[in-house]
Structure 1
Amino acid sequence: MTGSERPRVFHLITRLLKGGAEAKTIATVCGLDAYDFTVGYGAEYDSEQVDRLEREGITTKRFPLIRHYNPITAVPAVLSLARYLRREGFDIVHTHSTEAGIIGRFAAALAGVPNVIHTVHGVPFADDRNDVLNRLVLACERQAASYTDRIVTNADVIADDYLKRGIGMSEQYTTVYSGVDLKAFADAEPATDLPGERPRVVMVGRLADGKGHGVLLNAVESLGNFEGSVCIVGDGPLYDSLDADIEDRGLSEQVFLTGFRDDVPRVLAASDVLILPSFREGTPRVITEAMASELPVIATDIAGIPEQVVDGESGYLIPTGNAKMLAERMNELLLDPDLRDRMGKVGWKRAKRFSVETMRDNLDHLYQEFLRE
């Protein structure tokens, strides 16, 4: 790299879909003009996300051998990616998510990339996941950490968790909170086409295992008839089974699947409580988005969520899988608009520490730290 060239940074993510990890990655590469970015992604992708990156002038590259928890293709994926990295000569490789993080760091080591950064978007070890898989991922994460110059976590508690598991050393870790365009949520006009009546409980996210949709349905079922409605916003592999489950439970007049929405700020502006009963997370962007929208949040007490939600002040924290407590907390907030208002205002004040500008500045400083060496 000469003095007149922009540093070349390669980002690699397992799936380029419409989730929080993808949103953070796209916000980074589209918001830092001092670098020449390339975004690599695995077999699964959303063409709209690829088109968006390319409209912004970001080079993209698909690696079809990088697949979600597929050990058969992992070794060929490492070799293929290493050849690509060696040929391209990037200054920094920045990996995201579990599979791309492991494959990408092994490949970067083989290719002799000078600076390797990995972002942990969510803790991959969870009680609802197979124990053999948990142990395999742990062994790979420990080995990959030895090929990593810096591990970026979305919360201090995630770094502590990884260190307790023997992944890397404390000096490798940096916390960078996931950034959100707070103004877009604070100024949003409420959507007028959402099903159901208010007060409206909303859950936003990919319809996939680990998000706790069944816990939410158990909680709603236990409440019986209540004033208001529940909207589950998002798309994914569980859509049809969730639709059938809602019908089988007789909840079709209370719980609604909206499918994917590209107007989440307006959805939150038309809602009253955010629910996120996940079994595994990082520091979920949707919680920050809800706080910027002045919504109280009920979420599981895992990973970085307690650094976002103050239990009893900006919302409630509950144990994973606890539908009974979720129902109790939902009922409290549905029945008390003043409580919702108070908690929402506390959340709005806390949201300022999670702005997209702060996230970009922190990552820019991190890149510059390595490029100066």
Structure 2
Amino acid sequence: MKPLRIIHSEAATDFGGQEHRIFKEMMAMRDAGHYLEAVCQPHAELTTRLRAEGFVVHTMNMDGALNFIRGVAKMLHILKNGRFDVLNTHSRRDTILCAIAGRLAGTPLIVRSRHLANRVNSLLSYTWLPHCVTTDSQFVRNQLISRGVTPDRIENVYTPVFKHSALDQYSLRQELGLTPQSIVVGCVGALRPNKGHLELIRAMEPLFSTHSKLHLVIVGSGNDVMRSLQERIKSLGLEKRIHLLGQRNDVHSLMLGFDMFCLMTRLEASGTVYLEAASAKLPVIGTAVGGVPEMLIDGVTGFLVKLDDDQGLRDIITTLIENPSLRRKMGDAGYDRIWKNPESEFTPQALVRRTEQCYRRWLDRGVDQRKLFRKKGAA
């Protein structure tokens, strides 16, 4: 089929899970033969990363009324000159700005992607401005349907993981001076209050006295939470057992030094980091919230724990500490689910296939804005 011309927009300037998803999607779709450009703010890290990979990135400031007016005019020019088939927006601010321009330019398909698990307030950027919507999990899709978005105009496309070459699995242990006999619980995630790092330490605290070789490694950045973690660890006297590594660019290599992965997030749209851990052949432990249950198979590739169930979490970690064969079995099952299952929805190839299917179906069908929004409770 004829390659698609696609342009993505993003207003955020930091580089978290949402921006990483955009980056991975653009890379995968370009590798599949499609043409892609992006629109970001000048100081956004996504701008720098995409340009480093050879993408055309248009920049505009999106804050404030004057920048909004200028931005709509600039975006209208970009869309008309680029003759794009698809405009895919990602945040509320860029959706309102760019989708208005897309409507004025007559862009055939305007898609809003939803990456967050928190409750949707205004439906403006999901119903009236875009033609269709994609989500990161069935949980988020169901959220939007419950608010009134027409089901056949919203599809779920999971964020993929990328396969890594084999690396030295003991590099982490060498860095921290740990032995092969040490048991390492690893946690990777931005240091934000809703990621549950303090709760994880609270739950694990009794285990450090009963398991002398147990260590917790936390990877991620965030100044306020980092200070809280440092204070808590110091108050417990666990500086030699809990290791804060900050932001790292070698996460997969670090994961190969873990024995299990655990993130006690309190709110999550999907949780691709659980898949990253499974791809490193780790058993994963997650909270039964949001889209996390879609990232693992409870009892097969890992375990789900209820929020604030400290004893339940301790029991699971203890079970995995005492059963290395179970750790290997679950790690292999998680890896096979992603990479050896022909129905896997978590590979770059699956992302491309699903995205192409959605875009082409919506383009072929044509879009009628009046059909995007349905009354609450309607079939």
For Structure 1 versus Structure 2, the TM-score category normalised by the shorter chain is: 0.7 to 0.9
Aligned to 2:75: 85
Amino acid at match of 2:71: L
Structure-2 change in CA distance of 1:37 and 1:345 (3 Å): same
Structure-2 change in CA distance of 1:35 and 1:244 (3 Å): same
**C-alpha separation in 2, matches of 1:84 and 1:322:** 51
How many residues are treated as equivalent by the alignment? 346
Aligned to 2:149: 168
SS at match of 1:9: strand
Aligned to 1:205: 189
Query: Structure 2 matches for 1:344-359, cutoff 5 A?
Result: 344-352=331-339, 353=344, 354-359=346-351
Deviation at 1:114, TM superposition (A): 3.3
**C-alpha separation in 2, matches of 1:96 and 1:196:** 42
**C-alpha separation in 2, matches of 1:99 and 1:316:** 37
Deviation at 1:105, TM superposition (A): 4.2
Structure-2 change in CA distance of 1:57 and 1:253 (3 Å): same
**C-alpha separation in 2, matches of 1:39 and 1:223:** 48
**C-alpha separation in 1, matches of 2:318 and 2:95:** 40
Structure-2 change in CA distance of 1:188 and 1:10 (3 Å): same
Deviation at 1:256, TM superposition (A): 0.8
Q: Residues 316-352 of structure 1: CA distance to partner in whole angstroms, max 9, x if unpaired?
A: 1112343343233222222221221121122112223
Structure-2 change in CA distance of 1:199 and 1:97 (3 Å): farther
**C-alpha separation in 2, matches of 1:217 and 1:108:** 48
Query: Structure 2 matches for 1:225-264, cutoff 5 A?
Result: 225=209, 226=211, 227-237=213-223, 238-264=225-251
**C-alpha separation in 2, matches of 1:221 and 1:94:** 45
Gaps of 5+ in 2: 367-379
Aligned to 1:39: 38
Aligned to 2:256: 269
Q: Given the alignment of the two structures, is residue 327 of structure 1 paired with residue 308 of structure 2, yes or no? A: no
Q: Given the alignment of the two structures, is residue 188 of structure 1 paired with residue 180 of structure 2, yes or no? A: no
Structure-2 change in CA distance of 1:107 and 1:224 (3 Å): farther
Q: Given the alignment of the two structures, is residue 53 of structure 1 paired with residue 64 of structure 2, yes or no? A: no
Percent of pairs with identical residues:
23
Amino acid at match of 1:243: Q
SS at match of 1:262: coil
SS at match of 1:26: helix
**C-alpha separation in 2, matches of 1:368 and 1:178:** 19
Structure-2 change in CA distance of 1:196 and 1:45 (3 Å): farther
> Does the 8 A contact of 1:78 with 1:106 survive in 2?
no
Aligned to 2:374: none
Deviation at 1:30, TM superposition (A): 2.1
Aligned to 2:158: 177
Deviation at 1:364, TM superposition (A): 2.8
TM-score, with length taken from structure 1 = 0.82
Aligned to 2:109: 115
Structure-2 change in CA distance of 1:213 and 1:81 (3 Å): farther
- Bigger radius of gyration among the two: 2
Amino acid at match of 1:39: A
SS at match of 2:277: helix
Deviation at 1:252, TM superposition (A): 1.1
Q: Given the alignment of the two structures, is residue 362 of structure 1 paired with residue 362 of structure 2, yes or no? A: no
Q: Residues 130-163 of structure 1: CA distance to partner in whole angstroms, max 9, x if unpaired?
A: xxxxxxxx33136632322221122223211221
TM-score, with length taken from structure 2 = 0.81
Aligned to 1:214: 198
SS at match of 2:123: helix
